[in-house]
Structure 1
Amino acid sequence: MSEHFKPSEFESKDGKPSPWPEVVDPGLYSLLEEIRADFGEPIYVNSGYRSPEHNKKVGGAPNSYHVKGQAADIRPKRYRDPEKWKTALGRLKIIANRRCQGGVGFYPSFVHVDLGPNRRWNGQ
Structure 2
Amino acid sequence: MNTSWWRNVTHFTAKEFACPETGEALVSCDLVVMLDKARTFAATPFTITSGYRSPAHNRKVGGVPGSAHTKGLAADIAAPNNEARHDIVRGLIEAGCVRIGIGKGFVHADVDLDKPWPRLWTY
TM-score w.r.t. structure 1 length?
0.80
- Is residue 40 of structure 1 aligned with residue 43 of structure 2? yes
Whether the 8 Å contact between 2:40 and 2:91 is mirrored in structure 1 is no
- Is residue 116 of structure 1 aligned with residue 116 of structure 2? no
Unaligned runs of 5+ in 2: 1-5
CA RMSD, aligned part only? Answer: 1.8
- Which consecutive aligned stretches of 4+ in structure 1 deviate over 4 angstroms post-superposition? none
- Is residue 58 of structure 1 aligned with residue 65 of structure 2? no
Whether the 8 Å contact between 2:27 and 2:73 is mirrored in structure 1 is yes
Following superposition, the deviation at residue 98 of structure 1 comes to 4.4
Residue in structure 1 matched with residue 13 of structure 2 by the alignment: 6
Counterpart Cα distance in 1 of 2:97 and 2:103: 18
How many aligned residue pairs are there?
112
Following superposition, the deviation at residue 64 of structure 1 comes to 0.5
Following superposition, the deviation at residue 13 of structure 1 comes to 1.3
